[in-house]
Amino acid sequence: MSLSTAAAPPVPRLSVWPGIVLSLAVAAVSILASTVLPGVSALVIAIAVGILTANLTTLPRALTPGLSVAAKKLLRAGIVLLGLQVVLGDLLALGVPMLLVVVVVVAGGILGTVLIGRALGVEKGLTILVACGFSICGAAAVAAAAGVTDPEEEHEERTITAIALVVLCGTLMIAAVPAVAALLRLEPETAGLWAGASIHEVAQVVAAGGALGGAALSVAVIVKLARVLMLAPVMAVLSLQQRREGAADGKRPPLVPLFVLGFLAMVLVRSFVPPPGSVLEVGALLQTSLLAGAMFALGTGVKIRNLVQVGPRPLALAALSTLLVAALALAGVLLAA
């Protein structure tokens, strides 16, 4: 056989394991660091490490496949395990008025943010990610929405930008909510309800609730988990919209993504077949590890120069969305109380 007709040797595929192992290792370090940095979540630490790594060093090419897998698969697995935190009985104990407040905050926050984004001229895809992240549960909601609206990951920079905005604004809310609550002389429980209904990330709610003291922390977390539960219906609506828009070119994503069904399954397990406390502790640690690993992987895709090029409009959208959600939450909590 001549050289011209001989089959070319196969190009070796890079293993995904180096990137995945690095992501989980950073997650472990971030979890340890969060125990000595009160009020700073492991997810925030992990994405900060990822951003610094991407902008201060050059990562080996061998890590790229694993980081890509970590940013998607680990995050979706973490969202599934997030369902183990939600107990339907605890949510129902909030009462109908407070549950209606949660629905209004999520629906009003999403619709209002979309309108603000349209008025500011922000790209529709980025606006939807910001709307979901700020109205539901932060980075997890951003990633979930990206999985529905951009399943082929053709616009990963949107996800990275939206998560960066969630981290920035949510971190500021940790200090802002207790400060404003003190100015308004809100009772600790009322302030906790407001924190849970307005702050982006679960970990950020825990930090603010701890700062408020009294009964604020427990009610803040329960209200926040009620918002987390809204992830499923919102993703179903987004998926339905994508199916309609993609019908012309044959693209029909599933009505409810598999990881959202997994999230709902974990909610039902926690609510009706409560696992032992040790299992829940392991599940919570694993969930944090998976999400932190995914945040590091996403952070490695953040280039500061690219964020600067995004311009002031997304920042304005993030600020106005934060104020909108906070205002809806405060008005609702005061009316419900």
Confidence of residue 178 (pLDDT cuts 50, 70, 90): very high
pLDDT of residue 247 exceeding 70, the answer is no
More confident residue, 107 or 204: 107
Indicate if the pLDDT at residue 5 is higher than 50: no
pLDDT at 253: 60
Q: What is the mean pLDDT of residues 16-43?
A: 90
Average pLDDT, the chain: 87
Indicate whether 205 pLDDT > 70: yes
Task: Decide if 146 contacts 336 (C-beta within 8 A).
Answer: no
List pLDDT tens digits, range 140-171: 899 889 888 887 667 777 888 898 888 889 88
pLDDT at 269: 95
Within the chain, strands assigned E span: none
Whether 71 has a pLDDT exceeding 70, the answer reads yes
Q: Is a pLDDT exceeding 70 seen at residue 4?
A: no
Count Cβ atoms below 10 Å from residue 194 Cβ, excluding itself: 30
pLDDT given for residue 211 in this prediction: 85
| 195-207: average pLDDT | 88
Instruction: Give percent of the chain with pLDDT exceeding 90.
Output: 55
**Residue type, position 312, single letter:** P
> What is the mean predicted confidence (pLDDT) over 18-27?
95
Quick: pLDDT tens for 302-313. Answer: 777 776 777 899
**Which residue ranges make up each domain of the chain?**
18-336
